[in-house]
Structure 1
Amino acid sequence: MLEGRAPWEYAALLATMPWMKKLPHGDGHPVLVFPGLGAHDFTTAPLRAMLDSLGYTTQGWGQGFNFGPRAGVLEKTKADLIELHRRHGRKVSLLGWSLGGIYARELAKECPELARCVVTLGTPFTGHPRATNAWRFFEMVSGHASNDPELMAQIRKAPPVPTTSIYSKSDGVVAWRCSVNEPSPLAENIEVQASHIGLGVNPIALYALADRLAQPDGDWQPFEPKGARRWFYKTPVRP
C-alpha cells in the first residue's frame, strides 16, 4: 500500500521540473550511482539525468541487475571508483539507493581518499538485519545470509567521510530505524515523506540530495534547510 505512491512521486517530479532546475548546482565532480536490490541502472536513469543537468558527471554501476555481493561485484565497484578518480582527477561522490547504499558506504571505508561524500536513499545499514521486507529475496539471489553478526557490525559503522542517510518513516520496504546513522561529526540523517521505490524520484528527497552533493569538498556542513523548506524535513533525527 505504502509503495503505491511511487507513480505519484514520479508524476510530482515531472510537474516540478522547472523548480528542479533551481536546485543547488554541482561543480562537475563525478558521482557513482548504485541501484537497489534487484534493480538495474535504468531505475536510476531519471536520478542520474537530473544530476547531470545540475552539472555533475554521473556513472551507473554497470553490472546489470543488483542481486547482492556475488563474486566479483565488489571488486568491480572498487575498480570503477579508482578509474573515475583517475579519469577526473577528483574525489568521487558515492550515491546508493537501498542495497546500493551498502556498496557506497563500504567503498568509502575501503578507499576514503577517493570518496568525497556518501549519500544513501532508504539503505538498511543498522538494526535487525531482517527488519526489511526484502531479506528473503536478498538471501535467495545473493547466496549470503542476511543475519551474519560480523557482517552487520561492519556495515553499521559509518564511513570516515561526510555521510548522509535520506530515509522515510513511511518506507514500505525498509524499517526506518535501520537507516539512521549514529550521531557523528560527519554523519547525518534526513527524514522525508516518500515511498521506498519513489525515493529516487521524490522531489523533496532530490532537493536534499542535491544540497548534499553541492557541499564544497573539505568544507562539509550538516543539512540545514532554510525558510519554508524546513516544513518538509526533519533533521537531525535520533533512533
Structure 2
Amino acid sequence: MLEKLIDDFKLQPPHAVLLALEPLRAISDYVAGIVGPAEALPRGDGHPVIVFPGLALSGAATADLRVRLQQLGYELYDWEQGVNNWPDADFDEWLQRLGAHLQRIHARHGRSVSLIGWSLGGIYARELAKKYPKLVRQVITLATPFTDTGDSTHAGWILTLLNGAAYAVDEALLKRLSVDPPVPSASIYSQTDGVVAWQGCQGKETRCHRNIEVNRVSHMGMVHHPDVLRVVADLLVEPC
C-alpha cells in the first residue's frame, strides 16, 4: 500500500497534448512579448545580469530577454558557451568554467551579479550561486525542474539524441540540485508547461526562496511572455 501511495505522488511528465501544443503556444507567447507589458516596468540600478539558455539552445534564444532587460538599465551578458547540450565534462569542472565567466563579470563591475536561467540553464545558475555565493546577487529560474525526478520531463530524449547515448542523472546529483542556493532565489513556473512537470520547478518557500506562478505560459515561451518579463523586472529591482 505504501509503495502504491509513493508511486501516485511521483512527478509525471506534462500531458502529451500540452507537449504537442508547445510550438503554437510559444509563437503566441512570442507575439505577446512583442506587444509588451501593459504598464511601464521598473528601471534597474545597472547591476550585471547573466542569462543562461535552455537545453539545445544558445544565447540567440534569450537575446530578446537580454535586450529588454538592457533597456531597463541593466548590464546584460550571454553565458558565452554556445549551444547548451549539458556539460561536456565533469559537472564540477563545467561549473568552474562557468564560474570563471562569472568572476570576470564581477571583477569588471565590482558588483554582485544576478543570474537568470531558463530550464536547464537555471540548474547552472543555481549551482553557480552555491559555489560562488559572494559573487551572486540573486538567482531567477524560468521553468527549471530542480526538484524533479529524472523521468518527469520530456527533455530526456532530447539529451539522449544530442549526446548519442542513454541519458541518466544519478540520485546523488538529483538530490544536490534540489538544495536551494544561499542567496535570494525565485522560481517562475507555469502549470501549462508542456515540457517539464511544473511541480518539479518548485522549492520550499523560505525567507530566501520564492515560487512564482505565471498563468498560461508555455515552456518555450517563458523568455518572451510579458507576464514573465514583468515578474523578472520586479525581482531584479528588489534590494538584495
TM-score scaled to structure 2, two decimals?
Answer: 0.85
1:201 and 2:224 correspond: yes
Indicate if the aligned counterparts of 1:2 and 1:170 stay in contact, CA closer than 8 A: no
Residue of structure 2 in register with 1:37 after alignment:
55
Alpha-carbon separation, structure 2, partners of 1:36 and 1:74: 16
Q: Partner of 1:5 in structure 2? A: 25
Rg larger in 1 or in 2?
2
2: CA distance, partners of 1:81 / 1:28 = 16
Mapped contact 2:116–2:122 kept (Cα < 8 A): yes
Q: Distance in 1 between matches of 2:52 and 2:148?
A: 22
Q: Is the 8 Å Cα contact of residues 97 and 122 (structure 1) preserved in structure 2? A: yes
Q: Is 2:156 aligned against 1:138?
A: no
Cα distance in 2 for partners of 1:89, 1:144 equals: 43
Q: Does 1:163 align with 2:185?
A: yes
* Residue 25 (structure 1) aligned with residue 43 (structure 2): yes
CA-CA distance at 1:14 after TM superposition: 1.3
For the pair 1:63 / 2:81, whether they are aligned, the reply is yes
Which amino acid in the other structure matches residue 124 of structure 2? Y
Contact 1:105–1:158 (CA under 8 A) maintained in structure 2: yes
C-alpha separation in 1, matches of 2:53 and 2:233: 18
Instruction: Supply the distance in 1 between the matched residues of 2:42 and 2:104 (Cα, whole angstroms).
Output: 26
Q: Deviations over 1:153-175 (max 9, x none)?
A: 10000000000000001000011
Contact residue 25 and residue 218 of structure 2 kept, 8 A: yes
Helix, strand or coil: the match of 2:134?
Answer: coil
2:110 to 89, 92, 98: 89
SS at the partner of 1:188?
strand
Provide the C-alpha distance between the structure 2 equivalents of 1:2 and 1:175, rounded to a whole number of angstroms: 15
Letter in 1 for 2:228: A
1:137 shift after superposition? 1.9
Cα distance between partner residues in 1 of 2:201 and 2:168: 16
Greater RCO (Cα-Cα under 8 Å, separation 6 or more): 2
Verify: 1:115 aligned to 2:133, yes or no: no
Q: Could you tell me which of 26, 34, 39 is aligned with 1:14?
A: 34
Q: Which piece of structure 1 moves more, 74-83 or 153-162?
A: 74-83
| Partner SS state of residue 146, structure 2 | coil
The total of aligned residue pairs comes to: 215
Residue 175 of structure 2 is aligned to residue 153 of structure 1? yes
SS class of match (2:227) = helix
Gaps of 5+ in 1: 218-239
What is the CA distance between 1:76 and its match in structure 2? 2.1
CA distance in 1, matches of 2:57, 2:77: 15
Question: What is the alpha-carbon distance in structure 2 between the residues aligned to residue 145 and residue 107 of structure 1?
Answer: 23
Cα distance between partner residues in 2 of 1:208 and 1:182: 19
Amino acid at match of 1:129: G
Contact 1:138–1:146 (Cα < 8 Å) also in 2: no
The TM-score with structure 1 as length reference comes to 0.86
Gaps of 5+ in 2: 1-19
Could you tell me which residue of structure 2 aligns to residue 48 of structure 1? Answer: 66
- Aligned partner of 1:52: which letter? Q
